[in-house]
Amino acid sequence: MMISEMLICAFLFQGGWEPLHGAAWIEKSVRLASNPVEKTLLRLQDSPNGYSRPDQSIWTGNKWHRVARIPVEGRQEQVLAYDPVNQGILLFGGGRNLVLSNDKFMGDTWLWRGGKWSLLGPLTSPSPRYYNSFATDTRRKRIVCWDGGDGTMRFGRHFPDQVWEWDGKNWNLIQPKIFPKPRWQGAMTYDPVSGRVLLFGGTGGPFFGSVPLDDLWEWDGKTWTEQKPAPQQPWPLARGWGQRFVYFPKLRTCLLVGGAPSNTQKAFRFTDTWAWDGKTKRWARLDSNGSIPGFPVFLDSMAVDPVSQNMILVGRTRVKGSGLPGPRETWIHDGKKWSKAFRDPDHPSYLLQAAWDPRGDRYIGFNLVNTVENGVSYSQLETWEFKVGAGWRKLLGPGFKSLAGFSKYQLITHEDAGVLILLENRGSSGRTFLWDSSKDRWTRETRHLPGVLGGGNRVCYDSKLKAITYFSFDRSLYRWTPEKGWTKDPSFRLPLRVRGTWQWDGKVTYDPLRDRFVLCRPSEGSLPWPNWEWDRKTWRSIPGLGGLARFGVHDFHLVAVPELGGTLLIGGEYVRQNVWWGNNPCFLWDGKNWVELGWARYPEFPRSSSSRPRSMFYDRGRRQLVSFHTLISNQSGMRLRVGGLRALPNFARPGSRLPLEIHEPKKPRRFFVLGLSLGAWPGLPFVDTRGTLRRLPVAGDPLFLQSLGWGALGMLDAKGRAQLSLPIPGQKVLAGLEFYGAAVILGNGGVEKGTNEVALQILR
């Protein structure tokens, strides 16, 4: 009964995986859209290969603030434009796997308003497609879409003779007699000076991929009209890929910025800025103060900030010495010049593993750096710190030099001692390093581990004996404690009938709830290897995972989560068919059966070994399962919360109210204290009845102390629920502040437990 109740509890207040606050998110590209009524500028990512659900942020005037993820299926090249009828931002179409054979195209229509996405159901709609050129005609209150295709650029169907307009309820097809030349990536905007929608450039020619265009067309709602240059009139060079065209109220002109000649010449990027005067029908190139200065930019998107009326540009610059783009930067045009305002947070470029550092209330990860010395390739490790809300920060530069591709590493936390252990396996030898959290450095463990043999070893933390436990390929068991270092258990010998399960892709973890070690290896090839449990005396065979066993699964994650009543198995790849499992199934082993948890399904990612989750571990202090994964140059972190506090949405404005909900079904009619902390987590430390160190946020700003004090004090109802609506002071000085909230549950014996924390934001 207890386990089922815990699962029901988790289902009610979870909602699945969500991004770690402050973690960089995998972005192929980004799109900007402005809502002048709600005074918000939205940044929406294009999902890599269209798998992960899009992430979104709001511009706060000097940086981007991530808000709740959207319930929209991942995609690229979708329409994202302001809807003047519904006073929200409209999303339509897009595609996924645009360069693969199994392309999928979208035809759904969504509206973002009031911080929430809702799926619309128009009676008429374009067929699923992507690569539309689009703009909002504010005079006629229409979103105009032209062109687009439903296949890959070279071989897919194309719709050059279709103009679709969104009227706030339905999509309407308009087919005039004259059309611009068929193309991809034409840049469109609305010019309120002329009252026309403008279209410039794009890539045409065979397969729409080889000929850049420099023509300019106007659309009045019925007819396309081409604007041709007069003799000696300045005119932008032809560009067919990545150019942006946006009306800039401060200059009363439409700005054309950046781009490349075509999709086959993306390496060359224009760095000029052109202004179109809708009254005189002439182009003017802005001087050096008005153009992007000094370097090529891989331009993502542009839009006007409805608060400052400045132009906001998001793009990337080339890394010196290579043709690769660096981190994204946000630029501002104030009507006189461009200036760099914000650079996306730094992060590891190739994160290998990460683990929880309980002493520092943070996560420690190491990044792989490849170097070449005298013609020999080496791998070195950088050490990084991740703090929730603050993101990544490099602690140590390259170290631990080893021959490239030779060493394997395992990172594990001694939770009670607060020590991180890094094991380096090098065939028949290896090294052990200890992380000194107080000094942020690694030290070599002289009490070395004997018998290290390759990647067949499995390691986990035994909270009962307070030791790192190491099951070796040589059928021995080793333990590490701060007092003794590595010692061998002389009484342990892995039985021959179990021996094979330690090789290759088997995983082991310790379940403190039942004091058992759980070993999983669903199968490999045609051999149906069983799963096992060990109670320190006897090995017991346990059921497999049903249909998964016939394929064989490896590269999965096995993590004990006591709050859910057992051990979770998440993700993996089929062995025999060499196909991607999808990363999404999640199974709970409760000691009797495997139960699939639909609410905890892991998000899908591309079918690439480099994009799989690298680390998955349980943060006991924050009551959340944490995952980090990498995609070569971009990484992201996610969490599966098992706490009971949530905020929907997680942002508000001065003078408004912030809705929060606490749900702790096992704690009905208990008192709770909700605390708030500005700028950083944590607050006051305390120890709950389980002996776990937790922290209660405390307000650190006079304005919050005056209005909120500790945040809130109340009582959970008979179902363990409490719904709160906290007033946010109306002072504008609060705009842009970030703060955290958490609650503690009180009982007769004092503090019984603490909830997860939520990250909150005050918008302008």
- What's CA 469's distance to the chain center, in Å? 32
- The 3-state DSSP composition of the chain as helix, strand, coil percent (nearest 5) reads 5, 50, 45
The answer, yes or no, to whether residue 152 has pLDDT greater than 80, is: no
pLDDT band at 59 (very low <50, low <70, confident <90, very high): very high
- What's CA 577's distance to the chain center, in Å? 29
480 residue type, one letter: W
The pLDDT value recorded for residue 645 is 79
Lowest model confidence (mean pLDDT) among 1-10, 540-549, 668-677, 745-754: 1-10
pLDDT band at 739 (very low <50, low <70, confident <90, very high): confident
Of all residues in the chain, the percent with pLDDT exceeding 90 is 29
At 25-50, the pLDDT tens digits run: 666 788 999 999 999 999 998 875 54
More confident site: 56 or 680 = 56
Helices (DSSP H) in 451-601: which residue ranges?
496-499
Q: Measured in Å, how far apart are the chain's first and last C-alpha atoms?
A: 47
Task: Tell me if the bond preceding 649 is cis, omega within 30° of 0.
Answer: yes
pLDDT band at 9 (very low <50, low <70, confident <90, very high): very low
CA-based diameter of the chain, in Å? 94
Q: Which residue(s) pair with 149 in the sheet?
A: 130, 158
- What's CA 404's distance to the chain center, in Å? 29
Most confident of 44-58, 388-402, 606-620, 632-646: 388-402
The pLDDT value recorded for residue 324 is 57
697 vs 687: CA distance, rounded Å: 14
Residue 158 DSSP class = B
pLDDT band at 626 (very low <50, low <70, confident <90, very high): very high
The answer, yes or no, to whether residue 339 has pLDDT greater than 60, is: yes
512 vs 495: CA distance, rounded Å: 23
The pLDDT value recorded for residue 695 is 60
Question: Which class is domain 351-636?
Answer: mainly beta
At 105-137, the pLDDT tens digits run: 889 999 999 888 999 999 999 988 887 899 999
The pLDDT value recorded for residue 688 is 56
pLDDT (mean) for 233-252:
92
pLDDT (mean) for 76-104:
82
- Topology alike, domains 351-636 and 645-762: no
Of all residues in the chain, the percent with pLDDT exceeding 70 is 75
The answer, yes or no, to whether residue 19 has pLDDT greater than 60, is: yes
Strands (E), 36-186: 40-46, 56-59, 64-67, 79-83, 88-92, 95-96, 104-105, 109-113, 116-120, 133-137, 142-146, 163-166, 171-174
543 vs 532: CA distance, rounded Å: 8
The answer, yes or no, to whether residue 397 has pLDDT greater than 50, is: yes
Lowest model confidence (mean pLDDT) among 127-141, 176-190, 544-558, 608-622: 544-558
466 vs 483: CA distance, rounded Å: 11
More confident site: 452 or 287 = 287
pLDDT band at 91 (very low <50, low <70, confident <90, very high): very high
For residue 567, the number of C-alpha atoms closer than 13 Å in the C-beta half-sphere is 28
Other CB atoms within a 10 A radius of the CB of residue 397 amount to 10
The answer, yes or no, to whether residue 343 has pLDDT greater than 50, is: yes
The answer, yes or no, to whether residue 246 has pLDDT greater than 70, is: yes
Is the domain spanning 645-762 CATH 1.10.10? The answer is no
The tokens for 305 are 């900030």
Task: Report CA Rg, the chain.
Answer: 28
Lowest model confidence (mean pLDDT) among 121-125, 138-142, 265-269: 265-269
CA distances in angstroms from 315 to 111, 124, 427, 454, listed in the order given: 25, 35, 44, 43
The answer, yes or no, to whether residue 65 has pLDDT greater than 70, is: yes
More confident site: 194 or 497 = 194
pLDDT band at 386 (very low <50, low <70, confident <90, very high): very high
Lowest model confidence (mean pLDDT) among 622-631, 633-642, 661-670, 707-716: 707-716
More confident site: 499 or 13 = 499
399 vs 380: CA distance, rounded Å: 5
| Helix H or strand E segment including 497 | helix 496-499
pLDDT (mean) for 539-566:
74
For the chain, the domains span 351-636, 645-762
At 674-730, the pLDDT tens digits run: 877 765 544 565 665 555 555 665 554 444 444 444 467 889 999 888 888 878 878
pLDDT (mean) for 643-661:
77
pLDDT band at 356 (very low <50, low <70, confident <90, very high): very high
**Residues 701 and 711 sit within 8 Å (Cβ to Cβ):** no
613 vs 636: CA distance, rounded Å: 9
pLDDT (mean) for 547-566:
73
The pLDDT value recorded for residue 87 is 97
Lowest model confidence (mean pLDDT) among 53-57, 302-306, 603-607, 689-693: 689-693
The pLDDT value recorded for residue 337 is 85
pLDDT (mean) for 239-255:
93
The pLDDT value recorded for residue 385 is 94
The answer, yes or no, to whether residue 163 has pLDDT greater than 90, is: yes
The pLDDT value recorded for residue 700 is 45
The pLDDT value recorded for residue 283 is 95
pLDDT band at 656 (very low <50, low <70, confident <90, very high): confident
Q: Is the dihedral of CA 492, 497, 503, 507 positive or negative?
A: negative
For residue 733, the number of C-alpha atoms closer than 13 Å in the C-beta half-sphere is 5
Strands (E), 140-223: 142-146, 163-166, 171-174, 187-191, 196-204, 211-219
Most confident of 134-143, 448-457, 639-648: 134-143
């989750």: which residue's tokens? 613
The pLDDT value recorded for residue 6 is 27
The answer, yes or no, to whether residue 249 has pLDDT greater than 90, is: yes
Edge-to-edge strand list for the sheet holding 79-83: 79-83, 88-92, 109-113, 116-120
**Residues 277 and 268 sit within 8 Å (Cβ to Cβ):** no
585 vs 591: CA distance, rounded Å: 19
More confident site: 204 or 199 = 199
Lowest model confidence (mean pLDDT) among 161-175, 218-232, 602-616, 662-676: 602-616
pLDDT (mean) for 388-397:
85
Q: How many helices (H) and strands (E) does the chain have?
A: 3, 63
3-state secondary structure 711-725: CEEEECCCCCEEEEE
